[in-house]
Amino acid sequence: MNLPTKLLIFVFAFTTLFSCKNKDPKPEVAATVKTDYYTEPYRPQFHFSPEEKWMNDPNGMVYHKGIYHLFYQYYPEDIVWGPMHWGHAISKDLVSWEHKPIALFPDKHGLIFSGSAVVDFANTSGFGTEDNPPLVAIFTYHLMEGEQAGRKDFQTQGIAYSLDNGDTWTKYEGNPVIGNDGIKDFRDPKVFWDKVNHTWVMALVAGDHLQLWNSDDLKKWTKLSEFGKDKGAHGGVWECPDLFPLKVEGTDEEKWVLLISINPGAPNGGSGTQYFVGDFDGEKFTTDQTDIKWLDWGTDNYAGVTYNVLPENYYGNNYANDPGQDRILIGWMSNWTYARDTPTEKWRSAMTIPRKLSLQKLGDDFSLFNYPIRNFELLINREGKKDITVAQGEPEILLFENFNQTEIQFIIDSKDFRLTFGNSNGDKLGLGIDSEIHEFGIDRSKSGRVDFQEDFASIPQMPVNDLPDSEYEVRIILDLSSIEVFLNKGQYVMTAQIFPTENYTDLTIENPGGSEINLKDFEINKVKRIWK
């Protein structure tokens, strides 16, 4: 049956109008620019990705003297996982990035696995001075020879320091600072300053649970406690912990949030990140939480950690870009199920858009929201809004030059809607809510290239039982090889990779329910590329 349709053509100052599918040769998936830098097929235009070779977990996320540092797991010899280094990039706004030389290389103690970095503002380590406090990186050593020999003590913890704001690094001659008594998966230290007890605290995973340690000088560490043997999801190894305080929105109440990545065992397969809300007394983390909570229900947001927060007003008014007490997260936009197989050639993997975390109380329960940081607006050309009404059986079709570099946003009160992005090759990327089962889903089974790995053509689902009964916001951010969806300002989030054979150029809005649905303040906005 041919359904009646309404056709809308969005006209903006920056794009060329066309009203039907172009019969000319297919465009490249990359954006059209004057240079070929960062224009390979599927190359993200506004997400961070390495210039070349393999990248995974974000590491060492720290702000110091006007500079945001992003370190990351990096293998400089190939586009598949190999001996790990720490790659390095910097930014002044968390939007545009500058690549820096490799920061940390493997040594006799092993490969350089994931970890964190802090500003040692009181020079407790003695590596710097009070006038020039050091950056200190805390990371896991992974000794391949030990693993290959069948030992279980091949992961230990090391530190390094920088006195020039991250440009060069010196490893501590007393490494490793924490040895291993025989725990196979003993890694990913996240260190923060406990301002109440005036000590450094380390969150460290050990198999499928958490250990907490403390230190006065970042060199000598004492084990405090364990958490998680009987809490949370345990379908795989725990990784990349992060423990931090957050104020409950609209109150003076403070809770502690623990992030734990797990692989496998995520709700839609492979790797994902769970969280716990509770309390930390300087020694133990405790929670009354009985259910499993997920930061992001999509397939491709893993190993996310946050920027370390410095003491309040530490820099005074010296830096306009000071994040203050905001808790900002970046995740690795991939999944270990197929990370080594995705169809890129020069590089592999990207990071999520930086997201601000906020803690809200909904009834008697706590929910961790995550939503694009305010500075993401620097990339968006907002060109106006309009209201769209869609009746059942009368889909609305919107045509646009390139949906793969856009932000789409609207307000809706319906729990029944479906959006489908398409192109002239027949690729289709679907998403929407089914009110009968109270779930939101992303259907990438026909979204483009899906044949490179058997599990990629999935339809991840997310329960949305607690969406407001009234209006809520839907925000969709599409890059050349990813989609991020934020419902109700980040209450529910899904992130997924996509590999369309050409850019999506049409969007169909459908109403599978009974009464009309109204999409208020509907916007399609071009997102600027960040690479020059």
Q: 320-325: which pairs have CB atoms within 8 A and are 24 or more residues apart?
A: 321/66, 321/68, 321/92, 321/93, 322/63, 322/66, 323/63, 323/68
Question: Could you tell me where the beta strands, DSSP code E, fall in 265-383?
Answer: 272-280, 285-286, 293-294, 302-306, 328-332, 347-348, 355-362, 365-372, 380-381
Q: Do 368 and 389 have their domain in common? A: no
Range of the domain at 149: 53-311+325-338+349-372
Place 2 in a pLDDT band, splitting at 50, 70 and 90: very low
Place 4 in a pLDDT band, splitting at 50, 70 and 90: very low
CB 7 within 8 A of CB 17: no
**Could you tell me the CATH number of the domain that includes residue 443?**
2.60.120.560
Catalytic residue numbers read 57
Domain count, the chain: 2
pLDDT value, residue 369: 99
Q: Is residue 25 part of a domain?
A: no
Answer positive or negative: Cα dihedral of 377, 243, 141, 122.
positive
Residue 6: its H or E element: strand 6-9
The number of C-alpha atoms within 13 Å of 516 and in the hemisphere containing its C-beta is 9
| pLDDT exceeds 50 at position 380 | yes
Residue 389 one-letter amino acid:
T
Q: What is the mean pLDDT of residues 241-247?
A: 98
Q: Do 330 and 354 have their domain in common? A: yes
Q: Which residues of 473-502 are buried (b: 16+ CB within 10 A; e: fewer)?
A: bbbbbbbbbbbbbbbbebbbbbbbbbbbeb
Place 8 in a pLDDT band, splitting at 50, 70 and 90: low
Q: Which residues contact 132 (CB under 8 A, 6 or more apart)?
A: 163
Q: Is residue 183 part of a domain?
A: yes
Place 76 in a pLDDT band, splitting at 50, 70 and 90: very high
Q: Is residue 344 part of a domain?
A: no
Q: What is the pLDDT of residues 152-211, one digit of tens each?
A: 999 999 999 999 999 999 999 999 999 999 999 999 999 999 999 999 999 999 999 999
Place 18 in a pLDDT band, splitting at 50, 70 and 90: very low
| pLDDT exceeds 70 at position 333 | yes
Indicate the pairing of strand 53-64 with strand 347-348. parallel
Q: Do 405 and 364 have their domain in common? A: no
Adjacent-strand bridge partners of 394: none
Q: Which residues of 149-175 are buried (b: 16+ CB within 10 A; e: fewer)?
A: eeeeebbbbbbbbbbebbeebebbeeb
DSSP 376: G
Q: What is the pLDDT of residues 108-142, one digit of tens each?
A: 999 999 999 999 999 999 999 999 999 999 999 99
pLDDT value, residue 32: 43
Q: Do 119 and 250 have their domain in common? A: yes
CB 488 within 8 A of CB 293: no
Q: Is residue 7 part of a domain?
A: no
User: Mean pLDDT lowest for which of 17-21, 327-331, 470-474, 507-511?
Assistant: 17-21
Q: What DSSP string describes 226-269?
A: EE-TTSS--SSEEEEEEEEEEEBTTSS-EEEEEEEEEES--TTS
User: Mean pLDDT lowest for which of 26-40, 173-187, 199-213, 491-505?
Assistant: 26-40
Show the tokens assigned to 150. Answer: 């069948």
Q: What is the mean pLDDT of residues 343-368?
A: 98
CB 429 within 8 A of CB 504: yes
Place 513 in a pLDDT band, splitting at 50, 70 and 90: confident
- Kindly state the percentage of the chain with pLDDT values over 90: 90
Q: Is residue 280 part of a domain?
A: yes
**Could you tell me the CATH number of the domain that includes residue 210?**
2.115.10.20
Show the tokens assigned to 183. Answer: 């725990």
Indicate the pairing of strand 302-306 with strand 293-294. unpaired
pLDDT value, residue 353: 98
CB 423 within 8 A of CB 401: no
Q: Do 142 and 283 have their domain in common? A: yes
Q: Do 98 and 129 have their domain in common? A: yes
Q: Do 186 and 243 have their domain in common? A: yes
Q: Do 365 and 407 have their domain in common? A: no
- Distance of alpha carbon 493 from its chain centroid, rounded? 11
| pLDDT exceeds 80 at position 393 | yes
pLDDT value, residue 237: 97
Q: Which residues contact 318 (CB under 8 A, 6 or more apart)?
A: 66
DSSP 144: H
Q: Do 361 and 474 have their domain in common? A: no
Q: Is residue 111 part of a domain?
A: yes
Q: Which residues contact 290 (CB under 8 A, 6 or more apart)?
A: none
Task: Count how many residues are written for the chain.
Answer: 532
179: alpha, beta or left, given left = phi > 0 and alpha = psi -120 to 50?
beta
Q: Is residue 316 part of a domain?
A: no
Q: Do 91 and 198 have their domain in common? A: yes
pLDDT value, residue 10: 52
Q: Is residue 9 part of a domain?
A: no
Upstream peptide bond of 264 is cis (omega within 30 degrees of 0): yes
Q: Do 249 and 293 have their domain in common? A: yes
Mean pLDDT over each residue of the chain, to the nearest integer: 94
Q: Do 431 and 367 have their domain in common? A: no
What is the distance between the alpha carbons of residues 377 and 375, in angstroms, rounded to a whole number?
A: 5
